[in-house]
Chains A and B, each alone.
Chain A
Amino acid sequence: MQAILETYSSMLLQALGQTMLLTLLSLLFAFIIGLIFGMMSVSKNRVLNIISVVYVDGIRGIPLIVLAYFIYFGVPKIIQMTVNPGFRMTALVAGTIALSMNAGAYMSEIFRAGIQSVDIGQVEASRSLGLGYARTMQRVVLPQAIRTMIPSIINQFIISLKDTSILSVIGFPELTKAGNIIVGNTFATAETWGIIAVMYLIVIVTLSRIAKLIERRINVGTKR
Chain B
Amino acid sequence: MLAQNGKLKIHTRNLKKSFGNLEVLKSIDVDIYEGEVVVVLGPSGSGKSTFLRCLNRLEDITSGEVVVDDINISDKKVDINKFRENIGMVFQHFNLFPHMTVLRNITLAPVDLKKMTKSEAQEKGMALLTRVGMETKANAYPPQLSGGQKQRVAIARALAMNPDIMLFDEPTSALDPEMVGEVLAVMKELAAEGMTMVVVTHEIGFAKEVASRVIFMDGGYIVEEGTPDEVFNHPKEARTIDFLNKVL
Partners in one complex: yes
Q: List B contacts of A217 (CB < 8 A).
A: none
| Distance between Cα atoms of A221 and B157 in the complex (Å) | 20
B161 within 8 A of A: yes
CB of A129 within 8 A of CB of B95, answer no
**A120: nearest chain-B partner, CB-CB:** B95
Instruction: Give residues 115-148 of A contacting B (CB, 8 Å).
Output: 119, 121-122, 124-132, 135, 139-140, 143-144, 147
Which of the listed residues A119, A124, A135 has the most CB atoms from chain B within 10 Å of its own CB?
Answer: A124
| Distance between Cα atoms of A128 and B84 in the complex (Å) | 6
CB of B112 within 8 A of CB of A135, answer yes
Instruction: Give residues 89-136 of A contacting B (CB, 8 Å).
Output: 119, 121-122, 124-132, 135
CB of A147 within 8 A of CB of B91, answer no
Q: List B contacts of A131 (CB < 8 A).
A: 81, 108-109, 112-113
A222 within 8 A of B: yes
Interface size for B (C-beta < 8 A) is: 29
**A218: nearest chain-B partner, CB-CB:** B99
**B58: nearest chain-A partner, CB-CB:** A124
**A147: nearest chain-B partner, CB-CB:** B99
Interface 0/1 of A197-223, CB less than 8 Å to B: 000000000000000000000000111
What is the CB-to-nearest-CB distance from A117 to chain B, in angstroms, rounded to a whole number?
13
Q: List A contacts of B93 (CB < 8 A).
A: 119, 121
Which of the listed residues A119, A130, A143, A144 has the most CB atoms from chain B within 10 Å of its own CB?
Answer: A130
Instruction: Give residues 38-84 of B contacting A (CB, 8 Å).
Output: 56, 58, 81-84
B97 within 8 A of A: yes
- Known A124-B91, A139-B108; judge A130-B98 contact (CB<8 A): no
Q: List A contacts of B157 (CB < 8 A).
A: 125, 129
CB of B91 within 8 A of CB of A129, answer no
B158 within 8 A of A: yes
- Known A128-B84, A221-B141, A222-B141; judge A140-B56 contact (CB<8 A): no
CB of B98 within 8 A of CB of A139, answer no
What is the CB-to-nearest-CB distance from A30 to chain B, in angstroms, rounded to a whole number?
24
CB of A140 within 8 A of CB of B97, answer yes
CB of B97 within 8 A of CB of A125, answer yes
| Distance between Cα atoms of A119 and B83 in the complex (Å) | 24
What is the CB-to-nearest-CB distance from B117 to chain A, in angstroms, rounded to a whole number?
17
CB of A130 within 8 A of CB of B108, answer no
**A146: nearest chain-B partner, CB-CB:** B99
Q: List B contacts of A147 (CB < 8 A).
A: 99
**A122: nearest chain-B partner, CB-CB:** B95
CB of B95 within 8 A of CB of A124, answer yes
CB of B89 within 8 A of CB of A223, answer no
What is the CB-to-nearest-CB distance from A127 to chain B, in angstroms, rounded to a whole number?
7
Q: List A contacts of B99 (CB < 8 A).
A: 143-144, 147, 222
Q: List B contacts of A127 (CB < 8 A).
A: 58, 81, 84
Interface 0/1 of B169-192, CB less than 8 Å to A: 000000000000000000000000
What is the CB-to-nearest-CB distance from B160 to chain A, in angstroms, rounded to a whole number?
8
Q: List A contacts of B102 (CB < 8 A).
A: none
What is the CB-to-nearest-CB distance from A38 to chain B, in angstroms, rounded to a whole number?
19
What is the CB-to-nearest-CB distance from B153 to chain A, in angstroms, rounded to a whole number?
12
Q: List B contacts of A130 (CB < 8 A).
A: 81-85, 109, 113, 161
| Distance between Cα atoms of A132 and B113 in the complex (Å) | 9
**B85: nearest chain-A partner, CB-CB:** A130
Q: List A contacts of B108 (CB < 8 A).
A: 129, 131, 139
Q: 7 nearest interchain CB pairs?
A: A125-B95, A130-B85, A129-B109, A121-B95, A128-B89, A130-B84, A224-B143
**A residues with CB within 8 A of B:** 119, 121-122, 124-132, 135, 139-140, 143-144, 147, 221-224
**Could you list 28 examples of A-B contacts with CB < 8 Å?**
A119-B95, A121-B93, A121-B95, A124-B91, A125-B154, A126-B97, A126-B109, A127-B81, A128-B87, A128-B88, A128-B89, A128-B158, A129-B157, A129-B158, A130-B83, A130-B84, A130-B85, A130-B161, A131-B112, A135-B112, A143-B99, A144-B97, A144-B99, A147-B99, A221-B141, A222-B141, A222-B143, A223-B143
